[in-house]
Amino acid sequence: MGKFEGMLLLSDYDNTLLYTEEALQKGTPRPPMSQRNLDAIAYWQAEGGVFSVATGRALEAFRRHAHEVPVNAPIVVDNGGAIYDLERETYVVKNFLPEIAPIHIAAIAERFPHVALELYPDADFVQVLRPTAWNERHAKLTGARYEEIFTVDPEKVPRPLVKALFIGEKTDLDQIRAEMVQEGLTAYYEMIFSSGELLELTAKGANKGEMALKLKEMLGCHTLICAGDHMNDLPMLEAADRAFCPANAVPEVLASGATVVCHCLEGAIGEIVERMEKER
């Protein structure tokens, strides 16, 4: 029996497993994944451990790079919108936006004309309202194809809709969130900041924490170890039996009580495996 049998190590992708921040902000090529990470993941799996990824990326945006990530379990995608089995090419769990979502989203888009919007259908493209330079860089980083739209027509929005992403100034995004809370829309949605300029809208219960626990149960694991760097990772860090974050994490995560390890570029997942081995 391997020393990591029954243990699920679930890592965020961008800036936890692979450093992509400069590629997103500057449009530069992303660096390769740390060899320390790759060696540690191989060792973890050889010793019976389960390794997977919980990413805010849409399925298609992650699948283009999935061959670089040696998972041995289904992955969490869309910021907790679904669990997908790459080997079988099928969803294991889906929690997409409700049918009424395009009506709510259209109303918000009309009230906030300076905020950009990305709509993620369960397809190989993204619809973008009022694209900015950020949207261009994001598309380049992920390889996702996007279609510009000039209005949100609820009748024409592709369905099912997996998630929506508002991009703008923090003050505008705070106001969007406050108005949605005031209107009682928390009954329908999770509203989580994935950066200061990004507000993610997923279905109620569709967050990384809920899906991490579902995956742990599905796999029959007794220990859930999670690693993440941003605010959208907080639900899974709170759900974990052991929580870690890289040194490059945002202040809210660094202050969350998660154990801080090295910078993503230095092989944060590798350090986590090394620490867990010392405890066995």
Q: What pLDDT band is residue 122 in, cutting at 50, 70 and 90?
A: very high
108 burial level (CB within 10 Å; 0-12, 13-18, 19+)? buried
Asked if the peptide bond before residue 160 counts as cis, ω within 30 degrees of 0, the response is yes
Say if residues 269 and 248 touch (Cβ distance below 8 Å): no
Say if residues 202 and 87 touch (Cβ distance below 8 Å): no
Q: What pLDDT band is residue 135 in, cutting at 50, 70 and 90?
A: confident
Which tokens belong to 135? Answer: 């949207």
Element (H, E) at 210: helix 208-219
For residues 248 and 26, which has the higher predicted lDDT (pLDDT)?
248
CB atoms within 10 A of CB 90: 9
Q: What pLDDT band is residue 101 in, cutting at 50, 70 and 90?
A: very high
CA dist., res. 227 & res. 172, Å (int): 29
Average confidence (pLDDT) over 93-98? 96
Task: Label residue 111 left, alpha or beta by phi (over 0 means left) and psi (-120 to 50 means alpha).
Answer: alpha
Q: In order of start, what are the domains of the chain with their CATH numbers?
A: 7-95+207-279 (3.40.50.1000), 101-203 (3.30.1240.10)
Q: Taking each helix axis from N to C terminus, what angle separates 35-46 and 268-279, rounded to the nearest 10 degrees?
A: 40
Structure pTM?
Answer: 0.92
Going from the C-alpha of 210 to that of each of 117, 173, 205, the distances in angstroms are: 25, 24, 6
CA dist., res. 81 & res. 120, Å (int): 11
DSSP state of 118: E
pLDDT of residue 239: 98
CA dist., res. 279 & res. 211, Å (int): 26
46 burial level (CB within 10 Å; 0-12, 13-18, 19+)? exposed
Say if residues 152 and 129 touch (Cβ distance below 8 Å): yes
- Our measurement of the distance from residue 9's CA atom to the centroid of its chain's CA atoms, rounded to an integer in Å, reads 15
Which tokens belong to 78? Answer: 């869309």
If you average pLDDT over every residue of the chain, what do you get? Answer: 94
For residues 244 and 1, which has the higher predicted lDDT (pLDDT)?
244
- Residue 141 in this model has a pLDDT that exceeds 90: no
DSSP state of 258: P
Say if residues 116 and 131 touch (Cβ distance below 8 Å): yes
pLDDT in tens, 160-213: 999 999 999 999 999 999 999 999 999 999 999 887 789 999 999 999 999 999
* Longest distance between any two alpha carbons in the chain, whole Å: 58
